[in-house]
Amino acid sequence: MSAALPTLLDQIVIVTGGGRGIGLEISKAMKAAGAKLVIAEAEEAVGQAAALELEGMFIQTDVTDSSSVSSMVAAVVASHGRIDCIVNNAGICRNTPSEDVTDEEWRLVLSVDLDGVFYCCREAGKQMLRQGYGAIVNIGSMSGVISNHPQPQAAYNAAKAGVIHLTKSLAGEWASRGLRVNCISPGYIGTPMTKLGFENPVWREAWLSSTPMGRMGEPSEIASVAVFLASSASSFMTGSNVVVDGGYTSW
C-alpha cells in the first residue's frame, strides 16, 4: 500500500472550537483540502461567522457537556450520514499560581481540555466504529510534554499530558477496528489565547529565547499538520504525538 498526498475531497470533518484561533485555521485548511466542514463552537456568533465564510455547518456545542457533544454528533450523522474526521481543538488556559488555584478553576480547565476531548472522542468514536473507519486528531500541547515557564499553568499542563496519553490509549483500543487517533502538540502559537502573554515582555523573552526558531508559530503551521493527520497521507500513523514547536522541546 502506498501513502497518498493529502486530500479530503467530500470528507465530513468536525472541528471543535473551529471558529477562531488555531481552530479557524484548521477549518480553513480542511475546507481548502476539499472537506465538508462542521464547526462545533460554544459561541454562536463566532461559529456562525466561520461557518458562513467557509460554507460549512455550525452546531453550537459545549464540549464540557456530554449531552451537547452527543447531540452535535447525532446532528452531523443525521445530515451527512457519516463522520470521516473530528479535530478536538477546543481548549482554554488559566495562568494562576498553583497554591491559589480554586477547585472551580481546576475543574473548569480539566473539563474543557480533558473531559471535552474524551467526550468528543467517545461520541464521534462510536459512529466511526459503526462505520469501520475514521480519523481523530486531538490538539494537545507541548505543555503536556514539558512544563512551561515563567507562567504558572499546572491544570493546563496536566490536562494536556492527559490528552496525549488518552490519544495513545484510544489508538491502541480502536486500531483493529479501522480508527486512527493522533495528537498534535503545538508550541507557542500566535492566537487570542497567547496574546496577553506575548504582550508581557518577561514572558515574551522567555518564550522566544527558549524556542530555537526564535519566533512564535502561525496557526496555519498547525493546520497543515491537522490536514495531514486527517488524510490517508498518514495512513500508517496512530497513537502519535506530533510536536510542532519551532524546536522548543529539543532544548
Buried b (16+ CB within 10 A) or exposed e, 56-69: bbbbebbbbbbebb
Site membership for ligand NDP, residue 227 (CB under 6 A): no
- Indicate whether 155 belongs to the interface with ligand NDP (CB under 6 A): no
Burial class, 143, CB count within 10 angstroms (exposed 0-12 / middle 13-18 / buried 19+): buried
Provide the 10 A C-beta neighbour count for residue 242: 18
Shortest separation between residue 249's beta carbon and ligand NDP, angstroms: 12
User: Cα separation of 135 and 121, whole Å?
Assistant: 10
Instruction: Please tell me whether residue 250 adopts helix, strand or coil conformation.
Output: helix
According to the binding rule CB under 6 A, does residue 87 interact with ligand NDP?
Answer: no
- How would you label 203-241 residue by residue, b for 16+ Cβ within 10 Å and e otherwise? beebbeebbeeeebbebebbbbbbbbbbbbebeebbbbb
Residue 123 binds ligand NDP (CB under 6 A):
no
Question: Is residue 23 within the footprint of ligand NDP (CB under 6 A)?
Answer: yes
144 in contact with ligand NDP (CB under 6 A): no
Q: Does 19 bind ligand NDP (CB under 6 A)?
A: yes
For residues 39 to 68, the per-residue mask of contacts with ligand NDP, x marking binding by CB under 6 A and - elsewhere, is --xxx--x--------------xxxx----
Question: Measured from the CB atom, is 83 or 189 closer to ligand NDP?
Answer: 189
Residue 145 C-beta-side C-alpha neighbours within 13 Å: 19
CB of residue 67 to ligand NDP, shortest distance in Å: 13
Is-contact 66 129, C-beta < 8 A?
no
CA angle 243, 62, 30 (to 5 degrees): 45
Residue 84 in contact with ligand NDP, rule: CB under 6 A? no
Whether residue 156 lies in the annotated active site: yes
Binding mask 197-226 for ligand NDP (x = CB under 6 A): ------------------------------
* Residue 139 lies near ligand NDP (rule: CB under 6 A): yes
Q: How far is CA 151 from the centre of its chain?
A: 22
Of the candidate residues 13, 186, 210, 248, the single one contacting ligand NDP (CB under 6 A)? 186
Binding mask 88-107 for ligand NDP (x = CB under 6 A): -xxxx---------------
> Please, are residues 184 and 137 in contact by the beta-carbon 8 Å criterion?
yes
Residue with Cβ nearer ligand NDP (33 or 243): 243
Q: Which residues are catalytic?
A: 156
